[in-house]
Structure 1
Amino acid sequence: MPKRVDHDLRRRQIAEAVWRLASTNGLEDVTLRRVAAEAGVSMRLVQYYFGTRHDLLVSALDILNSVTAERAQEQIAGSGGDPTPRGVLRTVLVEMLPLDEHRRMRYLVHLAYFIRSRSDEALAATFRDTPPVLEETLAKLISWGKDTGAVDQAVDQKTEAELLLNSIDGLQTSVVLGQRTPDAAIALIDYQLDKLFCQDFASDSPGAPGTVDGRSSTREG
């Protein structure tokens, strides 16, 4: 009998090759030929699954985003300790930080795509037309907090979600550059969530900006 091919697995294999190349040398290094060599497959197979280079780049990013969403769901399901709106939101935000090799690579891949989109209008248009799924997810979690009384009713969940995402963008960069420790980045997430959710919170409490458990963070400059 002919060997049955797992097409999703093969697409993932090729996408991972794109990620490795992009995270090392940027998207300029991502050609059909180089991706094929990195994935250990023929260039014809890459074209069979993805067609053009543009389609390959877009699909590889879509697959990475799907993997990211799956990892976040696994973290939420596996946490078990705090199934509250704040706890789930914290889990999602911490999952976005580059705290291990996979998440560091994910950050570098997204950075490579951002740089490329500055000069590639077709790629930039793809980003503009992509629904803000993550932003909507955070907004729903904040809305859940409002429903339970943990978040003030006057809070605009969409605006708060945008602020949280932009904060994460900055924290990702500072962690990768070594300007801030992972613990300091997580402490800042906790600080933001303590302000968003209805809790007594003093400016000198553990996790305030510039401190981690009462100690100064390592951010420089």
Structure 2
Amino acid sequence: MPRQADHEQRRRQIAQAVWELAAGQGLEDVTLRQVAQKAGVSMRLVQYYFGTRAELLIGALAMLNDDAEAVARGSAGDDVGRDPRGLVRHVLLELLPLDEDRRLRHLVYAAYFVRFLADDDLAAAAGVGSPSLQDLLAMVIGGSADVGVDATAEAEILVAFAQGLQGQMLLGHVDGERAIALIDHQLDRIYGTKT
């Protein structure tokens, strides 16, 4: 008796095809047919799981965000909960393409960013990520940094800074070691020099 296809695995296979196409050529000209071919499935199956091209792009982005969040949570570990500076550092380092998985993720995000500029629906669907990240960092900084530190402003600055480093790393202008050193420098400014 043939095994029934795992629906979540099939969705992931199709989303992975979107990510690979986005990282390699951007999203401007990606079609359902190209995604189906890349995933090794029929176009009808892509439509079954995701519907329209817009729904496919939104769904693939949501899966990528969920994966990134799960990795960040899993690698943060219990120790980070006792070390607020360590948690802030960990979150910021997840925004940098420090390994192949994060590099692919950030190349895909860069491709999506171009689409966000031209597609209001896609931009609206993606608009929930950064503010919640900034809110998390502001909460941690506010509860752990010196009195007088504007936690909201620091969180906004840190996220923007890490995203700028991300682009510089993808372009090859800054290496991972330097990016980490710059993140640590900014955290020293907020929390004081590491001991």
TM-score (norm 1): 0.80
Comparing 65-74 and 120-129, the one that deviates more: 120-129
Partner of 1:143: 142
Deviation at 1:89, TM superposition (A): 1.3
The answer for the alignment partner of 2:88 in structure 1 is: 89
Q: What is the rounded CA distance, in whole Å, between the counterparts of 1:49 and 1:31 in structure 2?
A: 15
Q: How many residues align?
A: 194
C-alpha distance 137-6 of structure 1, shift in aligned 2 (>3 A): farther
* SS of the residue 1:192 aligns to: helix
Q: Residue type matched to 1:156 in 2?
A: D
| Aligned counterpart, 2:27 | 27
Question: What CA deviation, in whole Å up to 9, does each residue of 1:4-58 have, x standing for no partner?
Answer: 3322222111111100000110102321111111111111111111100000001
- Structure 1 distance, partners of 2:94, 2:127, is 24
Match for residue 157 of structure 1? 151
**Bigger helix share:** 2
Q: Does 1:182 align with 2:176?
A: yes
2:36 touches 2:42 (CA, 8 Å); kept in 1? yes
Which one of 154, 158, 166 corresponds to residue 172 of structure 1? 166
**Stretch moving more, 12-21 or 121-130:** 121-130
Using a 3 Å threshold, how does the CA distance of structure 1 residues 8 and 133 change in structure 2: closer, same or farther?
A: farther
Distance 1:24 1:77 in 2: 33
Partner of 2:98: 99
The CA deviation at 1:81 is 7.7
Alignment correspondent of 2:61? 61
Contact 1:22/1:29, CA 8 A, preserved across alignment: no
Correspondence 1:52 to 2:52: yes
The alignment yields a C-alpha RMSD, in angstroms, of: 2.1
Kindly tell me: are residues 71 and 11 of structure 1, through their superposed partners in 2, closer, same or farther at Cα, counting changes over 3 Å? same
Identify unmatched segments of 5+ residues in structure 1.
Answer: 146-150, 202-221
- Looking at both structures, which has the greater relative contact order when contacts are Cα pairs under 8 Å and sequence separation is at least 6? 2
Q: Which one-letter code corresponds to 1:60 in the other structure?
A: A
Which ranges of structure 2 fall in alignment gaps of 5 or more residues?
Answer: none
Query: TM-score, with normalisation over the residues of structure 2?
Result: 0.90
Q: Which secondary structure does the structure 1 equivalent of 2:77 belong to?
A: helix
